[in-house]
Amino acid sequence: MKFRWLPYVLVLCFCVWVLPVHAQAPAPITASVDRDTLSINETIQLTVTILTNSLAPVLPDMPALDDFEIVGTNSGSQLNIVNGQISSSNSYVYILQPRKSGELTIGAFSLTLNGQIFQTEPIKMTVTKDQSSPPGGQTTKPGNGQQPAEVNGQDFFVDASVDNPEPYIGQMISYIVRFYQAANVVGQPYYDAPKFTGFWSVKETKQSQGTDTLNGRPYQVSELRTFLFPTAAGQVTIDPAKLTMQGGFFEPDINLQSKPITVNVKSLPDGAPEGFKGAVGQYEIKANMSTTQGKVNEPLTLKITLSGKGNFNNLPEPIWQDIPDWRTFESKASAQSTVQANQIQGSRIFERLLVPSKEGKYSLPPVQYIFFDPIKGEYQTIRTQPVQITILPGQAEAPSPQAVLNPQADVKQLAEDIRYLKPVPSVLAKAESTNPPLTVLLFYWLAWGLPLLFLAGHLFWEKYRQRLESDSGWTRRMQARKNARRTLEAGRKGSDDVYHAVALALTDFLSDKFNQPVAGLTSQALAELLSQKNISTELSQRVQDCLFKTEVGRFAPEAGNPTYAENLLDEAEKLIDELENRLP
Amino acid sequence: MKRVIITFLVFSIVLITLAINPSFTTEKLVAGASDTMAAANRQYETSQYLLASQAYQQLVDQGIVHPNLFYNLGNAYFKQGELGKAILNYRRAQLISPRDADISANLNLCRGQKVDRLENENNEGIITYLAGFTRQRLTLNELAILTLGLWFLVTILLMILITPLLKGNWKESIQYSCIILGLLLILCAVSLGSRLYVDHNSPDGVIQVKQVDVSSAPGGQSVKQFTLHDGAEVTIIEQRADWVRLALPGGKLQGWAPSNAVGIIQ
C-alpha cells in the first residue's frame, strides 16, 4: 500500500501524454511532451503529430535540439477515410535526455504544406539536478508498482490498471490494458478481455498507440480502454487480461497475462432523496416539445434529454408526473454516447407521448431527475423548464397512440379501463310494464298443458280410426244409423220409392247392427232375433208392423196417400233412434 | 289427422309470437327520463362521476329498468371506486341483456379488482351451476320460451310418430330428432327450474361497503365469523328487517350481515 497514490498519478500523466494523440487541434502540426519537469537522468517523450490530407508521409523540419540528446525515435501513422475524405495522422516520437539542468526550451517544429508554413509552439521545461522525480513523475521510473515486478527487459508484457480503485456503485471507471512491445511482433496479437463480472462494461473501439521507456528501454505501447460501471458494492476482482501472440514457425505461442485487479466498490451514501432510481454521473436535463401548438386528441411528443457523463445505456427514467387533462403514454428511449477525454459522454432521450383531451393553454410541469454525483459525493436534483403549449380544438375520437407511433406493431394493451358509456335508449320505462317475467303469468303454465291435450286427443282419434279399419262389424254397428238415415232421406226426397226406402233402411240398419243379413227373414224369425238382442216385444212388434206397412203401401190403394207415406217415414226414423239406444 | 297437427302448429306459433312480442304489454313511459339520463351521460363525460351516478340512481329508484341505465350507473360507480355498487349494477344489466359483451367485459374487470378471492364455482351444486350458466346467456323469459317451444316441438314430433303414415327413413330421422330434442328439453326444463328456484330462494347479492363483518346471528352481540370486502358476490339465504343471512359460493361459510351492506340483485 506504499504506492496507493501512484495509480492516480500515473493515470493523470497518462492522460496528459495521451491527450494530444486523441484531441487533435485543427492545426496541422502539434508538438507535445509528456511532462515539463524532470531530473537530469530521466528522459522525456516529445511527440510531434502532423495531420494532412495526403497519403504521402510528411516530415517536419526539426529545430536544433542542442540541449538534448536524442536517445530514441519512433514513428507511427494512422489513416482515416471518413465520407471519402482522407486524413492521415503521422506522429514522430523522440525520446530526449537533457544534457544539462535548468530551464530548457524545445524549439518550434515547422511544416510546409501547400506553400504555407505551420509552426508549433516552443516548449519550455525545467530540468532538476536531483535524481528523484517530483510527485506526478512519469511511468519510466523503474520499479514502478504499476508494472509487473518482473520487468527485466522482456520484449513484451501486458499491464492492466483501473483509474479509480474505489468507485461508487454506478460510477464510471476505466480499465486500461497496455501492451508493451520492444521487438517486432510476428502475427497479430490476440487480446482476450477479462470477464467483467460485477460491472456493466463498455469497450472503447479505438486503440491508442504510444511509446514509453522502461528501464532505459523504449517500448511501443498499445492501449485499450474499457469503461466499467460497478453494479454491486464490495470487493470486486477483475480477472487478468490475456494476450496471445502467435509464435513464428519454430517458436511457441507467447501468452501474456496481467495481474488481477481488485476494485473496492463503495455503496452510495445514505439520504437518497425520494424518487432516486439509481442514476450515477453528471447530467443536465432539457425538455423539448416538437411544437408549441397542438390539437385535442392529437398526440404530441415530449422529449426529455439527459446529457452529461454516465452510463447512458442503463439510465433510469425520469420522474413522470400525471398531467391533468392529458393522457400520457410511454413510448421510447434512445441513447447515444461518445468517448471524449477518456470519459463516456453522451445523452439519453426519453420520449413521452402526450394526448391532450381538452383545449386550452397549458404549461407542462417540469420533469425532475435525481442522480448521485460521485465527484461531489452528493445527490443532485435537476429539473426541466416548464413547456408552454396551446391546445386547439380537434377531432372528437381519440386515436390509438400505439397506431400513431408505429402502425405495424402489435397492439399492446397499455392500461385496463372499463368500456365506455352506452347511449340513452329510445324507451325508458318502468319495470312492471316492460317484459314481465313470463313465469309469473298463468297463461304461460296453461300453455304447457296445451300440447298434452292435443296429444291426448290425437291419440284417441288415432285409436278410433284404427278400429274403424280393422273391426268391420264394429264399423257397421257404428255407421248403421247414419246409413239408415241417408236411405230414409233419399226416400223422403222422392228419388226412390218411399216404401222400398223405408224397408231397406230398417232391414239394412238391423243387418248392420247384428252384423248378419236380415232381409230374407220371416217376421217370425225377425221377432226371435230381436228378442235375443233384448229388444222388448212391444218395440219388436212395432218394427214388424212398420215392415208390414211398407208392403201394404207398395201394393194397396193407399199407396197414393202422401200422409200415409209421411207417417211411415217418421215411424221408421223413430224406430231407428230407439233401436240405436237399445243396441250397443 | 293432418288437420289436428296443422291446427296445433298454428296454435303454438300464434302463442309463441304472442309471448315473444312485447307489444301486447302497455309501456308506462316516464316523463323526462331520457333527458335525465342524457344529462347524466354528459356529467360522466366531464368526469363528474358522483353527479352522474346520483342522476342514474334517481332513475333506477323511480323503477326504470333498462340495461343501458344499469350499465352506465355501474360505470359511474366504478369510476368512483365503488366496486360493489358497480358489480351490482352490471349484474342487473346482465340479467336483462345477458349477451352484451360490454357488460361482461366491465364485470370481469371489476371482479379482477375485488379483494376477496371467493371459492371457485366448481364446488357449486348442479342447480346453482345451471342457473349461473344460463344467466350469462339467456334471460329468464328467453329460457322460458325456449323450453316451452321445445316442448311444443317434441309433442308435434310425437304426434307425427303416432300416425302410421310415416315409413322407413322418415320415421327413423323423426325418432332421432325427437330423442335429441327431448334431451334438450329436459336440460332446458331443469335449467329453468334451477333458475326459478335460485331466484326465488337464494338470490345473489353484492357487498357494497368497504368491509363488513359477517356474524353468527343477527344483532351486534354475536360472534364475528369472517369479513367480506367491497364487491364480494354472495348468495342471500334469508332476509329480515335489518339483517340478511348470506352464504359464500360453495355454501360452506355463511352468516348474518347488516342488510344495508349488501345489495340484492333481483
User: Using CA atoms, how far apart are residues A259 and A242, in angstroms rounded to an integer?
Assistant: 10
Q: Look at B38 and A424 and tell me if their CB atoms are within 8 Å.
A: yes
> What is the pLDDT at residue A141?
33
Which residue of B19, B65, B68 is in closest CB contact with A434?
Answer: B65
Instruction: Return the percentage of chain A with pLDDT > 90, whole number.
Output: 0
Mean pLDDT of A516-523: 75
Q: Do A418 and B106 touch (CB under 8 A)?
A: yes
| Widest pairwise Cα distance in chain A | 192
Which is higher by pLDDT, A399 or B119?
A: B119
Beta carbons of A267 and A365 less than 8 angstroms apart: no
Which parts of A323-409 fold into alpha helices (H)? 401-405
| A455 vs B110, B148, B155: nearest CB | B155
Residues in chain B closer than 8 A to A454 (CB atoms): 4, 8, 155, 159
Q: Do A424 and B12 touch (CB under 8 A)?
A: no
Name A308's Cβ contacts closer than 8 Å, sequence gap at least 6.
Answer: A281, A282, A283, A284, A345, A347
Judge whether residue A576 has pLDDT over 80: yes
Contact A118, A137 (CB under 8 A): no
Residues of B in contact with A434 (CB under 8 A): 22, 25, 27, 65
Predicted confidence (pLDDT) per residue in B162-218, tens digit: 877 666 778 888 889 999 999 999 999 999 998 888 888 888 899 999 889 898 888
Q: How far apart are CA B197 and CA A422, in angstroms?
A: 32
User: How far is the C-alpha of A31 from the C-alpha of A50, rounded, in Å?
Assistant: 9
* Nearest residue of chain B to residue A422 (CA atoms): B68
Label residue A413 by pLDDT band (50, 70, 90). low
Are B245 and B266 in contact, with CB atoms under 8 Å apart? no
Decide if pLDDT at A177 tops 60. Answer: yes
Whether residue A439 lies within 8 A of chain B, CB to CB, comes out as yes
Weakest-pLDDT range from A108-117, A126-135, B17-26, B41-50: B17-26
| Cβ atoms of A214 and A151 closer than 8 Å | yes
Q: Can you say whether the dihedral through the CA atoms of A19, A22, A23, A24 is positive or negative? A: positive
Facing residue for A448 by CB, picked from B45, B75, B148 = B148
pLDDT value of position B26: 46
Q: What is the ipTM of this complex?
A: 0.78
Q: Residue range A152-163: average pLDDT?
A: 77
pLDDT of residue B75: 93
Provide the mean pLDDT of chain A.
Answer: 77
Does residue B122 sit in helix, strand or coil? Answer: helix
Average pLDDT over residues B84-105: 92
Placement of cell 474499457 in the chain: A226
Is the CB of A424 inside 8 Å of chain B's CB atoms?
Answer: yes
Asked if A368 contacts A381 with a C-beta cutoff of 8 angstroms, the reply is yes
What are the DSSP E strand ranges found in B180-260?
Answer: 204-207, 211-215, 224-229, 233-239, 243-247, 254-258
Q: Are B37 and B55 in contact (CB under 8 A)?
A: yes
Residues near A377 by Cβ (< 8 Å), separated by ≥ 6? A269
Q: Which amino acid is at A544?
A: Q
Q: Under an 8 A CB cutoff, do B64 and A432 touch? A: no
SS3 A141: coil
Task: For residue A439, list chain B residues with Cβ-Cβ distance below 8 A.
Answer: 140-141, 144, 192, 196
Q: What is the pLDDT of residue B102?
A: 92
Question: Which whole number is the average pLDDT over A499-517?
Answer: 83
Q: Which of A151, A420, A423 is nearest to B66 (CA)?
A: A423
Domain A279-405 in the same topology as domain A156-265: yes
Report which listed range, A13-17, A204-208, A527-531, B53-57, is most confident: B53-57
Question: Does residue B249 contact residue B133 with C-beta atoms inside 8 Å?
Answer: no
Strands in A293-295's sheet, in edge-to-edge order, are: A293-295, A387-392, A360-364
Contact in structure between B231 and B87 (CB atoms under 8 Å): yes
Residue A63, φ and ψ in degrees, nearest 5: -75, 170
What number is the average pLDDT over the span A124-150? 49
Task: Tell me how far apart the terminal alpha carbons of chain A are, to the nearest angstrom.
Answer: 138
Domains of chain A by residue range: 6-128, 156-265, 279-405, 472-582
DSSP state, residue A341: T
User: Per CATH, is A6-128 categorized as 3.40.640.10?
Assistant: no
Whether residues A451 and B155 touch (CB distance < 8 A) is answered with yes
| Confidence at residue A549, expressed as pLDDT on a 0 to 100 scale | 82
Chain A residues close to B25, C-beta within 8 Å: 433-436
A476 Cβ contact list (under 8 Å, min separation 6):
A511, A512, A513, A515
**Is the Cβ pair B155, A431 closer than 8 Å?**
no
Instruction: Give the DSSP letter of residue A291.
Output: -
Q: What is the mean pLDDT of residues A153-173?
A: 82
pLDDT exceeds cutoff 90 at A109:
no
Among residues of chain B, what percentage have pLDDT more than 90? 35
- Rounded CA-CA distance A242/B126 in Å is 74
- pLDDT given for residue A505 in this prediction: 85
What single string gives the DSSP state of each residue in B237-266?
Answer: EEE-SSEEEEE-TTSS-EEEEEGGGEEE--
A422: nearest CB among B5, B68, B156: B68
A156-265 is a CATH 2.60.40.740 domain = yes
* CB-CB contact of A473 with A515 (8 Å): yes
Cell digits of residue B257: 350481515
Residue A439: the pLDDT is 82
**Cα torsion angle, A525, A526, A528, A532, sign:** positive
Min CA distance, A469 vs chain B (Å)?
Answer: 13
β-bridge partners, A116: A113
Q: Return phi, psi of residue A365, to 5°.
A: -65, 155
C-alpha cell belonging to residue B246: 348470506
As a whole number, mean pLDDT of residues B111-136 equals: 75
In the chain, the amino acid numbered A304 is I
Residue A91 is classified by DSSP as E
Question: Is the Cβ–Cβ distance between B208 and B230 less than 8 Å?
Answer: yes
Backbone Cα Rg of chain B: 23
Query: What does the pLDDT read at residue B154?
Result: 92
Select from A297, A421, A459 the residue whose CB has the most chain B CBs within 10 Å, as the one to mutate to test that interface: A421
Q: Does B162 sit within 8 Å of A439, measured CB to CB?
A: no
Flag if B75 and A421 touch (Cβ within 8 Å).
yes
CA distance A23 to A341: 8
> What pLDDT, on a 0 to 100 scale, did the predictor assign at position A558?
59
| Residue A299's pLDDT band (cuts 50, 70, 90) | confident
Distance between alpha carbon B82 and the CA centroid of its chain, in Å? 21
CA-wise closest residue to B213 among B184, B182, B243: B243
Q: Are A580 and A514 in contact (CB under 8 A)?
A: no
Q: Per the structure block, which three cell numbers stand in for B149?
A: 317451444
For the domain with range A279-405, which CATH number is right: 2.60.40, 2.40.360, 2.60.120, 1.10.8? 2.60.40
Å between A321 CA and nearest CA of chain B: 20
pLDDT in tens, A425-482: 887 877 665 567 788 888 888 889 988 898 899 888 888 888 887 887 888 888 888 8
Which of the given ranges, A166-170, A532-536, A556-560, B51-55, has the highest pLDDT on average? B51-55
Task: Please check whether residue A213 is in contact with residue A180, taking contact to mean a CB–CB distance below 8 angstroms.
Answer: no
A57 touches A148 (CB < 8 A): no
What's residue B258's pLDDT? 92
Residue A423 Cα, gap to closest chain B Cα (Å): 7
Quote the cell numbers at residue B199: 331466484
Residue A391 CA from chain centroid, whole number: 31
Is residue B151's pLDDT more than 90? yes
**Residue A435 sits at the chain B interface (C-beta within 8 Å):** yes
Among candidate residues A584, A535, A542, the one with its CA nearest the CA of residue A567: A542
Q: Give per-residue burial for A498-519: e unless 16+ CB within 10 Å, then b.
A: bbebbbbbbbbbbbbbbeeebe
pLDDT of residue B150: 93
User: Which of B72, B110, B154 lies closest to A422 in CB terms?
Assistant: B72
Rounded to whole angstroms, the Cα distance separating B158 from B16 reads 19
On whether the pTM is more than 0.90, the answer is: no
Q: Establish if A423 touches chain B: CB-CB under 8 angstroms.
A: yes
CB contact under 8 A, A418 and B155: no
Q: Which chain B positions have a beta carbon within 8 Å of A432's beta carbon?
A: 28, 63
**Which three cell numbers mark B114?**
375485488
Which residues on B lie below 8 Å from A437 (Cβ)? 140-141, 144
**What average pLDDT score do residues A107-115 get?**
80
Residue A342 and residue A15 in contact, taking contact as beta carbons nearer than 8 Å? yes
pLDDT at residue A407, rounded to an integer = 46
A431 in contact with B, Cβ within 8 Å: yes
- In this predicted structure, the answer to whether residue B117 has a pLDDT above a threshold of 50 is yes
A396 touches chain B (CB under 8 A): no
Q: Which of A422, A430, A453 to mutate to test the interface with B (most CBs of B within 10 A)?
A: A422
What whole-number percentage of chain B has pLDDT above 70? 88
A274 to chain B, closest Cα gap in Å:
28
Contact A429, B64 (CB under 8 A): yes
| A vs B: CB pairs below 8 A | 132
Residue B145 Cα, gap to closest chain A Cα (Å): 8
Put simply, the answer to whether A458 touches B159 (Cβ < 8 Å) is yes
Chain segment A544-555, per-residue pLDDT in tens? 888 888 877 777
Please state the rounded mean pLDDT for residues A164-190.
80
Q: How far apart are the first and last CA of chain B?
A: 46
CA distance B100 to B138: 11
What's the rounded Cα separation, in Å, for the pair A193 and A197? 12
Q: What is the dihedral of CA B130, B132, B134, B136, to 10 degrees?
A: -160
**Nearest-CB residue to B140 (from A427, A430, A437):** A437
Contacts of A109 (CB under 8 A, 6+ apart): A29, A31, A48, A60, A61, A62, A63, A119, A120
